[in-house]
Amino acid sequence: MNGASTVGRLLLAHFSDLVGALNMHATAQIICTLLLLVFWPLAGSESAAIGFCVVFGLFSGTVIGCPPASIANILNCTYTTTETAPFAKKKLGHWTGMMYSFAAIPALAGPVIAGHLISKYNDNYITLQMWSGFCLFLSFICMVLARWYLPCEDGEMVRVKLARMTGRHAKSNRESGDQSDVGSPERLSQAPTRTTSEMPSRQISNEKINNQPERMV
């Protein structure tokens, strides 16, 4: 697991430069969650356990190694203007120190909770597997919320990108009033700039002409 973790720290961290550290971190987090909740309980043989250790170690290396890069990614997305951009570098050490300070408490209590779950439930690892998977999934939810409410490095929100990719942006524009009957009489009759005509209508003019005495012969 440690050997595969070394590969994950180097290989998958390289892709974080391309897709974003927080995006790569969240992807590795959800994969580790599924491995703990699905793959580990099904690993009933020695070969399956070795396969789980290799695959889990590969992605857990990214989970362990990406937090400082994810903090930097969050800062770059928070301070996006030219005036506030220097704050992203100044606060990197501060935010990273706070992150590891908060992480120290569950890192200390986690092994104690794990040992208690194993000993209380007669050496059954299913409780430990569910507890570990739940903690990783909770962290994944926090990353998704951070990604959703923070703009990307280009200043555009994620929901705007998803709307454009799925075509909902163009659909909303069509529904907002971009109709094809711009020149139709119904559309022109409802124009706010139209004024009442002072000329008599054709129907009234024809009635006056037909009602004249000299034309009633």
Residue 126: pLDDT above 50? yes
Please name which of 23, 7, 13, 16 lies closest in space to residue 55, comparing C-alpha atoms.
7
Beta carbons of 72 and 51 less than 8 angstroms apart: no
Rounded mean pLDDT, 156-169: 78
CA distance 187 to 190: 5
CA distance 99 to 66: 12
Instruction: Walk me through the domains of the chain, giving residue ranges and CATH numbers.
Output: 2-168 (1.20.1250.20)
End-to-end, the C-alpha distance of the chain in Å comes to 112
Higher pLDDT, 121 or 25: 25
pLDDT for 171 equals 53
Where does the pLDDT of residue 162 fall: very low under 50, low under 70, confident under 90, or very high at 90 and above?
A: confident
pLDDT for 163 equals 83
User: Could you report the per-residue pLDDT of 180-202, keeping only the tens digit for each?
Assistant: 443 444 433 444 444 455 555 55
Rounded mean pLDDT, 157-175: 69
pLDDT for 205 equals 53
Beta carbons of 27 and 144 less than 8 angstroms apart: no
CA distance 131 to 117: 9
pLDDT for 196 equals 52
pLDDT for 35 equals 93
Where does the pLDDT of residue 151 fall: very low under 50, low under 70, confident under 90, or very high at 90 and above?
A: confident
Q: Residue 104 carries which side chain, given as an amino acid letter? A: A
Ranges of H-type helices in 79-177:
85-90, 92-120, 126-149, 158-166, 168-175
User: Could you report the per-residue pLDDT of 28-63, keeping only the tens digit for each?
Assistant: 999 999 999 999 988 888 999 999 999 999 999 989
pLDDT for 17 equals 82
10 Å CB burial of residue 119 (0-12, 13-18, 19+) is exposed
pLDDT for 143 equals 92
Higher pLDDT, 54 or 156: 54
